[in-house]
Chain A
Amino acid sequence: MNPTLTDIIRDGLWHNNPGLVQLLGLCPLLAISGTMVNAIGLGIATTLTLLLSNVLVSLIRDHARPEIRIPVYVLIIASIVTAIELAMNAWFHGLYLILGIFIPLIVTNCAIIGRAEAFASRNSVPRAALDGLMMGLGFTGVLIALGALREVLGQGTLMANAHLLFGDWGHGMTLQLYPSEHGFLLALLPPGAFMAMGLLIAAKNWIDSQFEAEPSPTGDETATATEASPDNA
């Protein structure tokens, strides 16, 4: 019940990754991962939120009455997100305009309240902070992988609009891999996001299966395909 620090790091980044394993926060994950820069922007905002909310929730964990703990967490998270939203509006205005509604919507990202409830409310401040940071980085990693995949397939670029995030020298960071009129438009559309996400999850499971010497004891694949054949006469 008391994970070591290494466990916390490993869980956040890989074994219990909020994007690939818990499948939390899919809405921003799928909606914002059209380009890598958007992904990095939202990833950083989410990571900051997770870090701060875990720290604050951990600080008040002995004072918040259990009956009202969820509203308290929501208030804390909402305040943090509002602060981050204002900060982005001030310093990354271009990116703020692109990400739009998805910055305030970080409040509703279940990964954040999930970590607050499941981890931060039962652990000391440093451990909660580490967990928040690692979960955030894990989420950001998935966002960036998805963003890079979709951006390369969809419009043939990497790090387009990087100046929105990094200032003027970001203009030089954009890579054009092939002419964009041949882009695979589906990758930028919502179905492409779901497919790319499915492929990433499959890739993670495949990597895990390669590293596992013995088959895992939990049979996670129950037979779902029961073919109903009415004509067996």
Chain B
Amino acid sequence: MRFRTESSPHMIPAHSVGGVMQQVLMALVPGTLAMAWFFGWGVLVNVVLAVLFAVAFEAAIVAARKRPVMPTLGDNSAIVTGWLFALAIPPLTPVWVTLIGIAFAIIVAKHLYGGLGYNPFNPAMVGYVVVLVSFPREMALWPAPDTLSEMSLGLGQTLQTVLTGSLPAAMDWDAITRATPLDAMREGLGAGRTVNELTTSPLFGTFSETSWEWIGNFFLLGGLYLLFRRIIHWHIPVAVILGVAIPAGFFWMLDPDSFASPAFHVFSGAVIIGAFFIATDPVSASTTPLGRILYGAGIGLLIFVIRTWGGYPDAVAFAVLLMNMVAPTLDHLTRPRIFGRERRGPPPGDGHG
């Protein structure tokens, strides 16, 4: 009897890059559908367009760098980048804004630094920050959740709006857009109103506006799935959420009239998706356990600080990019002790024995 001999490797790692990214994409589905439920077709149109652009740019730049195209596309990372970017921008964003943002994300933030694994910054967030800083008007047009607005756009109208950048006749931006909870809180507090006045409006659910709360819940579901599949570790998401909630809670207890509650902060805007999907980017995040906690806590703290005293209503992208800069230093300072050595002992194999 003959045994079939196989050459090594005999242990196939559970996670290939493409497989990991596939799991991330699956985990993004519930939150994305929830967003589409509340904000209409625009979310899905954006996701499709952004993913198409991302893959096209990835293929083009990889070909220009004279690297094999298909294996690179197979790691699915461009799809994740495009998808996350699409979730960050308002649902009716004109197509050229998406194009510019994705071009920056893929070409500048990713491939000018050497491609996947070499990029110091999260590409999707670089793309988002570029368009956020460059096109403040387009980036502020969040439509009212469908449950609130009298008229919602069908698929055809959404496509027309996204592709031409102008609404169908008989509609105007003022009628279909409204301030996000973070915008409303910022404006309201700036105008001297109290948190209590702002949150007693019927739009608010338990913690934040109902729609954003539910979107957060569904992204949380996807995030828990990633945790369960061990695609991500608990350190960063927990640290981000606590990093927002603890300082927010401290100031809220000092002065509940002028600082929103920690639950409002966690369930508004992009904290949940940021904590589970964006801050956990394996390339640009910190990699040691303690480093991850510090990295996540830094992101959370920066989110709270920029939201409360900074110039923008939400700050997940800025916080992630700022902490990306610190991640290599955190890794360096929090290297775990090597087994069998003192903490300050020389690393093995550097000639010191």
Q: Do A and B bind each other?
A: yes
Q: Which residues of A contact B (CB under 8 A)?
A: 181-187, 189, 195, 225, 227-228, 230-231
> Contact between A185 and B135 (Cβ–Cβ < 8 Å)?
yes
Task: Indicate whether A195 sits within 8 Å of B133 (C-beta atoms), given known contacts A184-B100, A225-B114, A230-B335.
Answer: no
Task: Indicate whether A230 sits within 8 Å of B288 (C-beta atoms), given known contacts A189-B133, A195-B108.
Answer: yes
Q: Is the interface of B mostly helix, strand, loop or mixed?
A: helix
Q: Is the interface of A mostly helix, strand, loop or mixed?
A: loop
Answer whether residue B116 sits at the interface, using C-beta atoms and an 8 A cutoff: no
> Contact between B331 and A185 (Cβ–Cβ < 8 Å)?
no
Among A181, A186, A227, the residue within 8 A (CB) of B130 is A186
Task: Indicate whether A185 sits within 8 Å of B287 (C-beta atoms), given known contacts A225-B114, A228-B331.
Answer: no
Among A182, A184, A225, A230, the residue within 8 A (CB) of B331 is A230
Q: Can you name 18 extra interface pairs (CB under 8 A) apart from A186-B130, A225-B114, A230-B336?
A: A181-B137, A182-B135, A184-B134, A184-B135, A185-B133, A185-B136, A186-B133, A186-B134, A189-B133, A225-B118, A227-B117, A227-B118, A228-B331, A228-B332, A230-B287, A230-B288, A230-B335, A231-B287
Give complex CA distance A195, B129 in Å. Answer: 14
Return the chain A residue nearest B135 by Cβ. A185
Give complex CA distance A184, B134 in Å. Answer: 5
Give complex CA distance A227, B113 in Å. Answer: 13
Return the chain B residue nearest A184 by Cβ. B134
Return the chain B residue nearest A154 by Cβ. B134
Which residues in A have their C-beta under 8 angstroms from that of B135? 182, 184-185
Return the chain B residue nearest A195 by Cβ. B108
Give complex CA distance A195, B104 in Å. Answer: 11
Kindly provide the distance from the CB of A78 to the nearest chain B CB, expressed in whole angstroms. Answer: 38
Which residues in A have their C-beta under 8 angstroms from that of B288? 230
Give complex CA distance A186, B332 in Å. Answer: 32
Give complex CA distance A231, B288 in Å. Answer: 9
Sort A-B residue pairs by CB-CB distance and give the 9 closest, nearest first: A186-B134, A185-B134, A184-B134, A186-B133, A186-B130, A230-B335, A225-B118, A185-B133, A225-B114
